[in-house]
Amino acid sequence: MFDLSPDHQQIRDLARDYARQKIAPGATERDNSHRFPAEIVKELAEMGFLGMFVPTEYGGAGLDILAYVLALEEVCYADAGVGVIMSVQNSLAGWPILAFGTEEQKHKYLTPLATGEKIGCYALTEPDAGSDAGSQKTKVTVDGNGDYVLNGTKMWITNGPQAGIIVTYANLEPEQRHRGVCAFIVEKEYPGYRVGKIEEKMGIACSSTSELVFEDLRVPKENLLHDERKGFNVAMATLDGGRIGIAAQALGIAQRALDLSISHARTRRTFGKPIADHQAIQWKIADMASRIESARLLTWKAAVLKSNPNLGKEASYACSMAKLMASETANFCAYEAVQIFGGYGYSREYEVERLYRDARITTLYEGTSEIQRLVIAKSLLG
């Protein structure tokens, strides 16, 4: 149960070698410049990491979700900003098209996503619809040809400035809340689509985040994803997979914080001995390692369950639990790493300062920790 297959080990090792040799060395520069890592994204696509669980007939690698989680953790160990680009491309842009799209939609959109020809994004959040995703105010009407016209604004959209393929949502009857929500596949070339404000964020700086503005955005009827008024189902199922991705991202951050803390504790000396000899530091290291192992096992379990289409409710519960535990573990480990480094940890010269900032988002996007607790509690209480 606890051993990875040779294939999974090979994927993890491939991702680890690439991430530590090619991604990690430029992480600080990207954090300072906020530069989108276009060349790295291209190389990730060439390695098959942008369509990991997309079947080969649609241009993907045809792997399972556990392989994706293993690779993503290694990428995020090197740079969580690069990792979230990979996560959105797989979990939020590719998965809903794979799960709910027509054959025509799969062939048209999954291949450019998997090969990196186009960047994807997931546009759900609005100014008044974050955790309450059913309160979509973006309005959709149907014209005389059966095509759709969208009006509204989305916000906090990861990959928004670069995205060429957008999975988004709008409401036929906003007063009906989630019962009127529809899902769509949008191309950035469609008339009425534009990128709005680009956000300045606390962390994951090389990952761009923006508003998307729809002004009489015209979407062909064949780009409806799933059925009319079934968009909320698409959104919730997609977020389960997205939560696995964020759990993997959080694990990468947490593991890096632990490894840096161990290295620093062995070399930093106080009171005539390495701080690793002080019990206070030993307990911090032990707590960090124990939480990471627990969160990793939950994440692997969620990945296996999500790969089975017959385990919807059980998978949703597991995805929320993995995301909750991994994201809070990342924040705990980043905090303790800064504490172990002391004053050095507060300096931008040291990597743990970036990890502290990067970790913070993991308890917010793809559903806050509070939302995860609600999902878990409802699963238990009915």
| pTM, full prediction | 0.96
Helix (H) or strand (E) holding 59: none
Backbone angles phi, psi at 156, to 5 degrees: 60, 40
Q: CB within 8 A of 273, min separation 6: which ones?
A: none
In the structure encoding, which two tokens stand for residue 186, read together?
Answer: 């949008």
Round to whole Å and give the CA distance between 301 and 311: 12
Strand runs labelled E in the chain: 119-123, 139-142, 148-158, 163-171, 181-187, 193-198, 209-219, 224-225, 269-270, 273-274
Give the CA radius of gyration of the chain.
Answer: 21
Q: Mean pLDDT of successive 10-residue segments in the chain (382 residues)?
A: 87 98 98 97 98 97 97 98 98 97 98 98 93 90 94 98 98 92 98 97 97 98 97 94 96 98 97 97 98 98 89 87 98 98 97 98 96 94 88
Q: What is the pLDDT of residue 2?
A: 67
Tokens of 101: 């799209």
How far is residue 323 CA from its own chain's centroid? 10
Q: What is the pLDDT of residue 195?
A: 98
Buried b (16+ CB within 10 A) or exposed e, 197-224: eeeebebbbbbbbbbbbbeebbbeeebb
Neighbours of 102 (CB within 10 A): 14
**CA–CA dist 152, 213 (Å, integer):** 6
In the set 126, 211, 351, 366, the catalytic residue is 366
- pLDDT for 308 equals 85
**pLDDT at position 332:** 98
H/E stretch holding 302: helix 279-306
- What's the confidence (pLDDT) of residue 135? 87
Q: Which domains are assigned to the chain?
A: 6-119 (1.10.540.10), 121-230 (2.40.110.10), 232-381 (1.20.140.10)
Query: Which structure tokens are listed for 99?
Result: 């799960």
Q: Count Cβ atoms below 10 Å from residue 187 Cβ, excluding itself.
A: 16
Instruction: Confirm whether 366 is a catalytic residue.
Output: yes
Q: How many CB atoms sit inside 10 A of residue 253's CB? A: 33
pLDDT, position 174: 87
